[in-house]
Amino acid sequence: MASPLSTAKRIKNAVHFAVQGPGQLTVVWKRRGTGWLVNHLDRPTVPKAPKKLLIEDLAWRTEQHGEKPLAQEYGQPGAKRSPAQVRSSPVMGDVFAWLAEHRRPQTVVEFGSAFGFSGMYWLSGLEAAGAGHLYSFEINPIWGEIAKSNLSRIGTRFTLTMGSFEDHVDKVVPHPIDIAFVDGIHTYEWVMAQYGILKRKVAPGAILLFDDIDFPTGRMYECWEEIAAGSDVLAACELNKHVGVIELG
C-alpha cells in the first residue's frame, strides 16, 4: 500500500495536468486545403481530455516502476526506456482525445502502444463519444502488458495486439481505418513502409498522425515532408513542431 506521502505526491502530479487550463497548441500548416482538419483544428488551444485526472494518475503510477527493456527490433541490445521518455505529452493527449470524441471515428489504430499513455487518451475520447474502437499494436510484450492494464482502467473499446501492425492489421482490424497514430520505429524506411500499408486500409477522408517528426536521427523530418507533399493529401499540419497530421482526400 502506498504511503500517505507518496499518495499525496501522486495526486498532486495528476491534478497538475488535469486541472491546468486549455493546452496550448501551435498549428503550422504545410498544406491548407478544404476539409475537416482546416475547419476544426486551426485553434490555439485544445480542451482537456475526459478522464484526464485518471490517465495522469495511471501515468504517474507506471513511471514509478522505472525503466523497461527496449524491443530488440530497435537494434540496441540492453537498452531500456522509462515511460516518461517515450510518452506523448499531456497536451498532445488532449488532442488525441478531442479528435476521437469530435471526429467520431469508427476505427482508430495506433502503433506502437508503448506503455499505453497515448492509447488512454484516444480511448477516453472514444468512450466519451460512446462509439468507435481503438486497435493498438505493440511489439514489446513487456510494454504491451503494461499498456493493456492501463487501457483497461479507461474503458473497453479497445483491442491490444502483441505484435507488429504490419503483420497483424489484416487479421485484427475489421473496418477501414478512420484515424491512425504512427508511433513506432522512427526511421524513414519504417514509416514509409507503414504509410504504404495504411493507404490501402484507410477510409475516405482518413486522418493520420505521425509522432516525433522532429526525431534527430532516421530522416524523420524528410519522411514527414514527403508524406505531407503527397498528391493524395488534402491538408497537412504540424502540431507543436512534434506531431505531423494529414487528412487524405
Distance CA 185, CA 191 (A): 7
Chunked mean pLDDT (size 10), the chain, 249 residues: 51 56 84 92 87 94 93 86 93 96 97 96 98 97 97 98 96 98 94 97 97 95 97 96 97
| pTM of the predicted model as reported, rounded to 2 decimal places | 0.91
Q: How many domains does the chain have?
A: 1
Instruction: Give the up-direction half-sphere exposure of residue 107: CA atoms within 13 A in the CB hemisphere.
Output: 17
Q: What is the pLDDT of residue 10?
A: 54
CATH number, position 30: 3.40.50.150
Q: What is the pLDDT of residue 192?
A: 97
Distance CA 227, CA 196 (A): 10
- Single out the residue of 131, 202, 227 nearest to residue 237, CA to CA: 227
How do 68-69 and 80-81 pair as beta strands? antiparallel
- Residue ranges making up the domain that contains 24: 4-248
Q: What is the pLDDT of residue 149?
A: 98
186-218 b/e (C-beta count within 10 Å ≥ 16 → b) = beeebbeebbeebeebbeeebbbbbbbbebeeb
Q: What are phi and psi of 4, to 5 degrees?
A: -55, -35
Residues 6+ apart with CB under 8 A from 176: 106, 107, 201, 202, 203, 206
